[in-house]
Structures are given as C-alpha cells and as structure tokens.
Amino acid sequence: MSLVVAKFGGSSVATPERVKNIAHLLVERKSQGDDVVAVVSAMGSTTDNLIDLAKAVNAHPSGREMDNLMSTGELVSMSVLALAIEQLGEKAMGMNGRQVGIITNDDFGNAQIKEIHTDRIHEALKEGYIVIVAGFQGIDEDGDITTLGRGGSDTTAVAIAASLGADVCEIYTDVDGVYSADPRVVGKAQKLDRISYEEMLELAAAGSGVLHKRCVEFARNFDVKIHTRSSFENVPGTIVEDMIDVEKAIVSGVAYDNSEAKFTLRGVEDTQGVAAKVFNELAKRKISVDMIIQNISENGFTDISFTSPTSELENVKKILEELLTKLSARSYQINDNISKISIVGAGMKANSGVAAKMFQTLADEGINISMISTSDIRTSVVIDQTQFKHATQCLHTAFGLDGTEIFEDNTLSEQELKDKANKGR
Ligand code: ADP
Ligand code: ASP
Ligand code: MG
C-alpha cells in the first residue's frame, strides 16, 4: 500500500466529463489499496475569468480581496470532484487551505508556504476517505486567505506530498511529460524520461510553465520525486528527481518566456548608490526583477535596463517616474514586446562554446539579441517577441534536440500562446 498525492491542472478538470474520469482514476487507485490525496486547480480558465471579473469592477484591486476571489475557483473543482467520487460510492472529503492547515506568509497573490498541518488529512485517510485538497491557496497568520501565484497548485501538491512523506507526487496535465521544449511551439520536441531538479528548476524559471518553479524547489529540498504525466492517456511521463551520476546533456531543453517587459532608465549619474536606489524601490514594492544590465558610462552618465513581469508594468512605470525626479535621470523606456529565450543543460558547466553557438545560431537567423544573462547551467537572451517561435525552434535544432514531428497539429497560434503565457504567471 502506498500514499499517492496526485495533482490535476485546470484543463484536466475543465468539464464534468473530465472530472468524472478523474473520479474513476482515483477510485481505482483506492481500490488497489492506496491512500489517495488529490490536489485540484480551478476548472478550465476559471482563474482568468475571475481576474477579468475583478478588473471589470476595480482597476486597482487590493491583494487581500483578490485572493478571496481567486481562491474560489479551486473550491468549486474540489467540491465537484468530491461529489463525483461520492457518486461512485466512495467516501470523499474536500478540504480548502484553511481546513488542511496550509499556513503562508501574507504576501497576497504570491504567498509562500511556511508550514502545513497534516493531522486532518491523516485522520481522513485513516477513516477511508479519498481526500481532495483545493490547490493554490492557504491562510496567513491572521486567518486571511492567500494564494500562491499563478500555477501554484503544483506547489500545494508537492508541499503536501513532502509533509505526508509521500514517495512520489504525480502532476497530471494536458501534455504527457516534460519535453525538450514546449511541444505546442516545437513540433519536434522530445519527451524526457527523466530530468534533474537542477535542470527542471532552471527550465521552470526560464518560462516552461509545465511545472511551477516553487514546486520544484520544494521537491528538491524535501526529496520528493515528481512524476509529470498526462491526465488523458495512461502512459509514463517524466520523472523529476536527483540525478547526480548520469551523463549530463550539454543542452536538455529550450524555453521561452513572453511574460516580461524591459525597462530602461536613461542618463542616470554613474556613481555609487544609484543602482541600489533603483532596485530598492522595486524591492520595497515586491516587484521581482530578472535580468539587469548597466551600460558603460559616457561623460559620467549611464543607462540601466532590467526586466520585470509585464503584469507589474503600471507599477514599475510609476516607480520610474518617481526615479526620474529623484535621480535626475534623462528619461525612461518601456518595451513589453520582448521574449526571453533560454537554453538549459547540466553539461554546460563543463563545455565551453555553448553560449557562442547560441548567439551564432540566432545571428544566422537574423535575430538580434538585446540582453544576455547566464547561470552555471543556463544561458538566456532577450529578443523581439515576434521572433520567439522561430528562435526557440532553431535553437532546438542547432543543439541536436529534434525528434520526429509528433505535435504538428498541436502547435498553437501566436495569440493562443500569448494567452497561455499570460496565464502562466
Ligand atoms: P496545468 O493547467 O495542468 O497546470 P499548464 O498549462 O500549467 O497545465 O502546463 C502545461 C503546459 O505547459 C503544456 O500545455 C505546454 O504547452 C506547456 N509547456 C511549456 N514548456 C513545456 C515543456 N518543456 N514540456 C512540456 N510542456 C511545456
Ligand atoms: N488556478 C490557478 C491558476 O490558474 C492555480 C493553478 O492552476 O495552479 O493559476
Ligand atoms: Mg500549471
């Protein structure tokens, strides 16, 4: 007998039929003698619709009230799945974040899990219930509802798996595993049987929305194996785990991220403390910053560029306006038509020339690079967003990752991809 924690994403619970299929899957697992805890996301595009609803009545909603609203999507799918399981004659108990005891900080919209009380889940399992947990939410120390950031149900699932000591956390989604690139963009992407926490973390941070970045961090810190697999087909997916001894691929995957904008502060004095002032202002308002570059100064003045989520564009704009006066800067510029393209591979550390090959490949295709950043196992560049699909595809080919074209009919239109990217954060 084992303990199964299984998470079902929005598309997996989008319709009553799909919910019923999942109910069957869970009842089947229970009948095999396993203890079963399911974590669910909101049905289909419910969370996006809730955000649109909020925006229709308030242009600047407060974090607390937004989280009250956003948490309701997962409550619906939790209850509907529990009802579907009851219909099959099994006992099901739905639990929201408060009922489980998922305690977070009070960073509304992007809360971090601090602790999880699992007594109630244990009790329910002992009494023979299938437990259904509403993903993406917790409560802070004041008892207020918080949410974990877009895509955060993955993190709920892995955190619960870690607290319960489950050996594996299954993440059921609309693709059958982690691929060498988003299969909706690169038709020749190949499914990876296994991937290390280290590489998955970089891919998630680089925009591969298939797993929430914090869920991979949790899994690595608490040694939880993740099995990412299809909720539509019973085929093996991708195992994310510690992989110390294996031969490391130079490049395992290519990722794109269309969710950031580039901000440039022009003509700031090149003197000590200026960068600190800029990034302190952003940090104070909890705006995350990804890439940063500062140009060589000319006549004692320089330009500072950085990328931040497009969803924060209005807030960053306000800060830049304040900084113009405070720092007597010349002007600022905003470009929200950018894409970050990254190559990730654990073998990059030991191989020189990987970045050069990436830049040359893009140059040969007439793609201009406007920013670059690197880590031990990742190289990222910022390019014009109109070229992201072509850039991802040609890098995939250049690094020898192409397989047979299996996703030809599956590739999404530019608009659909844009919507998906916006949803992802
Ligand atoms: P869920 O709603 O189940 O959480 P998501 O939309 O968050 O599903 O994640 C699944 C999607 O991630 C896929 O449909 C795919 O388009 C996208 N994706 C991006 N990069 C990858 C990748 N490297 N491998 C697999 N899927 C990827
Ligand atoms: N429903 C939330 C979202 O759409 C959380 C999740 O799906 O993981 O972001
Ligand atoms: Mg997801």
- Does position 414 have pLDDT exceeding 70, yes or no? no
The predicted-structure confidence for 52-97, as pLDDT tens digits, reads as follows 999 999 988 999 999 999 999 999 999 999 999 999 999 999 999 9
Q: Range with the lowest mean pLDDT among 194-203, 260-269, 293-302?
A: 293-302
Three-state secondary structure string covering 275-338: HHHHHHHHHHCCCCCCCEEECCCECCEEEEEEEEEHHHHHHHHHHHHHHHHHCCCCEEEEECCE
The predicted-structure confidence for 4-31, as pLDDT tens digits, reads as follows 999 999 999 999 999 999 999 999 999 9
Which residue's CA is the nearest one to ligand 1's atom 4?
Answer: 9
- Does position 417 have pLDDT exceeding 70, yes or no? no
- Does position 1 have pLDDT exceeding 90, yes or no? no
User: Rounded to the nearest whole angstrom, what is the distance from the C-alpha of residue 74 to the centroid of ligand 2?
Assistant: 8
User: Rounded to the nearest whole angstrom, what is the distance from the C-alpha of residue 412 to the centroid of ligand 1?
Assistant: 12
State the average pLDDT over residues 375-398: 97
SS3 423: helix
Q: In percent, how much of the chain has pLDDT > 70?
A: 95
- Measuring CA to CA, how many Å separate 231 from each of 235, 237, 307? 9, 10, 35
Name the band, by pLDDT with cuts 50, 70 and 90, for residue 425.
Answer: very low
User: Rounded to the nearest whole angstrom, what is the distance from the C-alpha of residue 417 to the centroid of ligand 3?
Assistant: 14
| Cα angle value 202/203/207 (rounded, 5°) | 115
Which residue's CA is the nearest one to ligand 1's atom 22?
Answer: 182
Ligand 2 pocket check for 136: Cβ under 6 Å: yes
Give the torsion sign (CA, 342, 344, 349, 353).
Answer: negative
SS3 402: coil
- Ligand 1, residues at Cβ distance < 6 Å: 9-12, 41, 151, 173-175, 178-179, 181-184, 208-210, 253
Q: Which atom of ligand 1 is nearest to the CA of 185?
A: 16
pLDDT of residue 411: 59
Which residue's CA is the nearest one to ligand 2's atom 5?
Answer: 151
Check: CB of residue 263 under 8 Å from CB of residue 319.
Answer: no
- Does position 150 have pLDDT exceeding 60, yes or no? yes
Strand pairing category for 378-384 and 371-375: antiparallel
pLDDT of residue 296: 85
Which residue's CA is the nearest one to ligand 1's atom 11?
Answer: 210
The predicted-structure confidence for 320-375, as pLDDT tens digits, reads as follows 999 999 999 999 999 999 999 999 999 898 888 999 999 999 999 999 999 999 99
pLDDT of residue 358: 97
SS3 160: helix
pLDDT of residue 385: 97
- Does position 196 have pLDDT exceeding 60, yes or no? yes
pLDDT of residue 74: 98
For residue 83, give both structure tokens.
């009802």
- Does position 145 have pLDDT exceeding 90, yes or no? yes
Ligand 2 pocket check for 137: Cβ under 6 Å: no
Name the band, by pLDDT with cuts 50, 70 and 90, for residue 244.
Answer: confident
- Does position 413 have pLDDT exceeding 70, yes or no? no
Considering the chain, what is the average pLDDT of its residues? 93
Q: Give the ligand with the smallest distance to the CA of 252.
A: 1
Q: Which atom of ligand 2 is nearest to the CA of 153?
A: 8
User: Rounded to the nearest whole angstrom, what is the distance from the C-alpha of residue 153 to the centroid of ligand 1?
Assistant: 13
Ligand 2 pocket check for 305: Cβ under 6 Å: no
- Measuring CA to CA, how many Å separate 77 from each of 47, 224, 396? 12, 25, 37
Ligand 2 pocket check for 135: Cβ under 6 Å: yes
